[in-house]
Structure 1
Amino acid sequence: MRNVSTLLLGSERRAISGLAGLYASRMLGLFMVLPVLALYADALHGATPLLIGVALGVYGLTQAALQIPFGLLSDRFGRKRIIALGLVVFALGSVVAASADSIGGIIVGRALQGAGAVAAAIMALLADQTREQVRTAAMATIGLSIGVSFAIAMVLGPWLAGWAGLSGIFWATALLTVIGLLVLWRWVPPAPRRVRHKDVGMDRAQFKSVAARKDLWRLNGSIFSLHLVLMAIFVAIPFRLVDAGVAMEYHGLVYLSIMALSFVAMVPLIIVGEKRQRMKAVCLLAIGAIAVSLAALALPAFHGKALFVGLFVFFTGFNLLEATLPSMLSKLAPAGAKGTAMGMYSTSQFLGAFLGGTLGGALSSAFGLDAVFIGCALLGAVWWLGMWHLPSPPPLSSEVVALEDTHPDTLDMLMQRLADVVGVEDVMVVPEERLMYLKVNRQALDRAALDELIPPSKP
């Protein structure tokens, strides 16, 4: 009943590489303006700190509003068609922003970029294209590509803006999107029969039960706060770098150094959190580091060279949370409901980005740059207190089992017997998918009893 082979098929390699590249290039286009927009906005008609903040974060509003509708449309009209439609909208937004000479034009362009909300449809197509045995690794590849694209954007954005101006970033984004369309149609394999995967897509029937989980809302609040803070401080950080004597053309090198060091610093903390089951402690440490670093950046002593230390601490905490929060969500989400939980999580992330840019601009406009860091530090303190009450995530992992020969009349009995296996914490059977979703504690799992009920097939 279970196929234990985890070797990727040729079509799976093409799907994973193509869709991960597509997802990453889209995020690259959204993030490249982050470190440069505030500096280059002087050339834009009508620019104010508030409107600059709105321009930074407005993509999050349209993304949050449309990602679920795009996913549902992909169920009905086909994944590739809807993804292509979203990419065309994204490219249109890039062209509008590239052609703009006012901050209003940039806001419209960024809003259109976010309106090409194909993230859920890409994940659904990836699930269609991969077997359940390799799907977790495939999704992890997408997650890794997002982190890498953010780091590259921090370096590439300042360099590209220095060479071709702010409009050059948007033209480059439009070109990447056109290349993405070619990858979608020529490299990604033809889409198979569409199936709703409960561990990937949003399921409206599960929404109420998932929304009632306070532990999941604490994680939603965390990703909301993380991206709120990120967008808010980029209203101020570019100016702080200039004040520290760093010319605009060298900002990319500063971000490269800081991001590289922060990635190195976070790795041992992730290992400790995962191996020693200290995920909550690592999460609290990261939030505390973010709050302290932001409070420090508001002090006069951190307006010069010490700025780099504060940014290093901040981005170490940021990258650590970007890696650990999805892992915690996966452990806490009910069996078969990770897709619904992740949909709510992603929506919270995008709303945080929108509100962060807007609030950062408002604070800067009304009270100055220091107020941005102070406001974000206070939010970090409240955030830390909220996460203190989160139960420590159990050492659970998800397992998806293909039901090839099980007669429907035996499913209830099989579920009951599986639930009695030591280490199996949750079971969900979806007959229409012919899949069974398990949440298991691998440290306590009675693997022999599980294999007796669901024998692995020979590779």
Structure 2
Amino acid sequence: MNSAEKSSVFSIAGIYGLRMLGLFLILPVFALYAEGLEGVTPTTIGLALGIYGFTMAMLQIPFGWLSDRIGRKPVIAGGLLIFAVGSVVAAMADSIWMVIVGRALQGSGAIAAAMMALLADLTREEVRTKAMAVVGMTIGFSFTVALIAGPMLNNWVGVDGIFWLTALFALLGIAVLFLLVPNPDHLSMHCDVEAVPGEFGRILKDGQLLRLDFGIMILHSIMMALFIALPFVLRDHLSIDAVDHPWVYLPVLLVAIVFMVPLIIIAEKKEKMKQVFLLCISLITVSCILLGLWHDSMFSVIAALLLFFIAYNVLEATLPSLISRMAPIDAKGTAMGVYSTSQFFGAFIGGAVGGWFYGHFDVQGVFYGAAMLGLIWLVVAAGMKMPVMRSTVMAHVESDVDAELLEAEILKLAGIFEAKVVPEENAVFLRVDKKLFDPHALDVLLKPEMAEC
């Protein structure tokens, strides 16, 4: 990436990270805080935790389309303002229902699709995959930080203070948007990052993609449900004060990251993706069973959390990669839009259903319910056909090219197995074997003047 692209990418990633940090900070502390709110029940605790996922799932794709019409920055700034208002409503709430309204408003600031479109406007095709990876890593980092910082901030400023802080994060994001993120020269439709209305039928008929969408929905359902029960387990069953909860999560997360890396290497480099994928679903299921059986044992809880976060981190990293490889090369944005919607909807289901299970069957009911979801996912995933491990590459083309002729010429190059030229986006999308692919040969074909270099 050049300097302008780096500045744009890291600024957009910062906005995204601040927003997601604001959403995640209350996860490890809200269930205990909600006990003191008027009208609280276990079901409403879960609903308050997960309701943001419902509104985000419903609005993220429409907000992306709106940004194509009125501009990226107005939509993003408006979404961040809605998020800030929701945070203030939740901060000032004295009843669980007002918190639910605030969390729903937070999710209504659904700017993910608009942010990705802005990122695409400000980056060249050749570096866009790297730019999106930076944003993805920022989200993962935000989740990790939130699990540690949430209980600490709760001890210092309380959960209402955390909500005020998330409102400040949103306003800071607006400042970054207008002060540090450049205005794109023009708005374009990018089928690699945006949902295209005419492509939904093709994506929703693809059984392999639907298995992955189901998987990310189940993964986030389980994650959200666990954080309804875990704070009570740590406080009531293991006698750990809320202020000390970070010292449970921190070592577990650090060790999980260490074990995550070799599993991803085995999946990607050794081409054992399905085996690693099914192993991680199994680890998720086993961790939930362990928590259900022995949540009064510190050793068992730590072991279960370690298994869960190893598997969760691997799946969070590999699922988007699988979507990218399985999706039609010219409809990846639509596939990712359906995937993201499934992810957010999963958070809603996990919160609402997890709260109901907690109210009727206590913490063990939540854990066994989550284990049942894991088993269902394992059955669904067992029949999945893994794609050939090829990489996606993008390059720039002129708008006046003959698409069919250029595609035929590109496919003659070594290591290129699929090509789609989209002149209206000035882009060519490729699936390649990196071991055989020669980027210089592609450059010479697309830019003949480079043959002299």
Which TM-score applies when normalising by structure 2?
Answer: 0.96
1:448 and 1:66 mapped to 2: Cα distance?
Answer: 42
Q: Is the 8 A contact 1:296 1:302 kept in 2?
A: no
Counterpart check, 1:167 vs 2:160: yes
Which of 402, 405, 409 in structure 2 is aligned with 1:413?
405
1:219 and 1:457 mapped to 2: Cα distance?
Answer: 43
Q: Is the 8 A contact 2:90 2:98 kept in 1?
A: yes
Q: Is the 8 A contact 2:294 2:300 kept in 1?
A: no
SS class of match (1:249): helix
- CA 1:326–1:170: 2 relative to 1, 3 Å: same
- Look up the match of 1:107: 100
2:138 and 2:433 mapped to 1: Cα distance?
Answer: 28
- Look up the match of 1:5: none
Which of 237, 248, 254 in structure 1 is aligned with 2:230?
237
Counterpart check, 1:385 vs 2:405: no
Q: CA deviation at 1:399?
A: 1.3
- CA 1:407–1:109: 2 relative to 1, 3 Å: closer
Q: Is the 8 A contact 1:415 1:429 kept in 2?
A: yes
Counterpart check, 1:428 vs 2:415: no
- Look up the match of 1:259: 253
Alignment deviations for residues 106-145 of structure 1 (CA, whole Å, 9 cap, x no partner):
1000000000000110111011011111111100000000
Which of 438, 446, 449 in structure 2 is aligned with 1:454?
446
Q: Which amino acid aligns with 1:190?
A: N
2:449 and 2:10 mapped to 1: Cα distance?
Answer: 28
1:457 and 1:383 mapped to 2: Cα distance?
Answer: 52
Q: Where does the alignment leave 5 or more consecutive residues of structure 1 unmatched?
A: 1-7
Q: CA deviation at 1:59?
A: 0.2
Range 250-259 or range 300-309, more displaced:
300-309
Q: Is the 8 A contact 2:88 2:164 kept in 1?
A: yes
- Look up the match of 1:307: 301
Q: Which amino acid aligns with 1:189?
A: P
Range 190-199 or range 58-67, more displaced:
190-199
What does 1:259-298 correspond to in 2, within 5 Å? 259-298=253-292
Q: Which amino acid aligns with 1:442?
A: K
Q: Which amino acid aligns with 2:272?
A: R
Q: CA deviation at 1:454?
A: 3.4
What does 1:60-459 correspond to in 2, within 5 Å? 60-242=53-235, 243-300=237-294, 303-404=297-398, 407-408=400-401, 410-445=402-437, 450=442, 453-455=445-447, 458=450
Q: Is the 8 A contact 2:233 2:296 kept in 1?
A: no
Alignment deviations for residues 213-248 of structure 1 (CA, whole Å, 9 cap, x no partner):
111111101100000000111110011111212111
Q: Which amino acid aligns with 1:166?
A: V
1:142 and 1:449 mapped to 2: Cα distance?
Answer: 30
The Cα RMSD (Å) is: 1.7
Moved beyond 3 Å, runs of 4+: 300-305, 419-423, 443-459
Q: CA deviation at 1:423?
A: 3.4
- CA 1:457–1:382: 2 relative to 1, 3 Å: farther
- CA 1:179–1:419: 2 relative to 1, 3 Å: same
% identity of equivalent residues = 47
- Look up the match of 1:3: none
Q: Which amino acid aligns with 2:360?
A: A
SS class of match (1:298): helix
1:36 and 1:159 mapped to 2: Cα distance?
Answer: 10
